[in-house]
Amino acid sequence: MQYTVIERELELRLVLSPERSVAVPARLSYRSDDPYAVHVTFHVTSEQPVYWTFSRDLLVEGVFRPSGHGDVRVWPTKVEGRDVVLMALSSPDGDALLQAPAAQVSAWLERTLRVVPPGTEGEQLGIDDALDQLLAR
């Protein structure tokens, strides 16, 4: 089965304090064979990249309004007059607050939504076809 991969390299900012942040190279990745999830790889150029996977819907919603709870929270804001999306990630290893350029995240999400429109994710998984084959026996 053929699937589509949509990736976007971008620079995020790891917020260390209200006055200080550092650049973090990252890659957004979406695969049509895993249609509900988005994958984010941080420190793509380091020997120990960090991988996070969470719901595409959470990120889509988080571009417009606060979304998520628990391990992943996403919300829009302005920093120095620029539209950004903040991502708060929590794990047993620690917490991180990352700032992403809203326009780049939105453009990438738009591409994923064109490949797999909202509400059609289940069709991508081929569950209906598998069920039909199973019931046909």
Name the band, by pLDDT with cuts 50, 70 and 90, for residue 83.
very high
pTM attached to this predicted model: 0.85
pLDDT tens for residues 84-122? 999 999 988 889 999 999 999 999 999 999 999 988 887
As a whole number of angstroms, the distance between CA 64 and CA 59 comes to 9
User: For the segment 46-78, what is each residue's pLDDT rounded down to a tens digit?
Assistant: 788 889 999 999 999 999 999 998 899 999 999
Q: By the 8 A CB rule, do 71 and 55 touch?
A: no
Superfamily of domain 5-136: Sporulation-specific cell division protein SsgB (2.30.31.20)
How many CA atoms lie less than 13 Å away from 76 in the CB half-sphere? 14
Strands (E), 1-42: 5-17, 20-31, 37-42
Q: Would you kindly state where each structural domain of the chain is located, as residue ranges?
A: 5-136
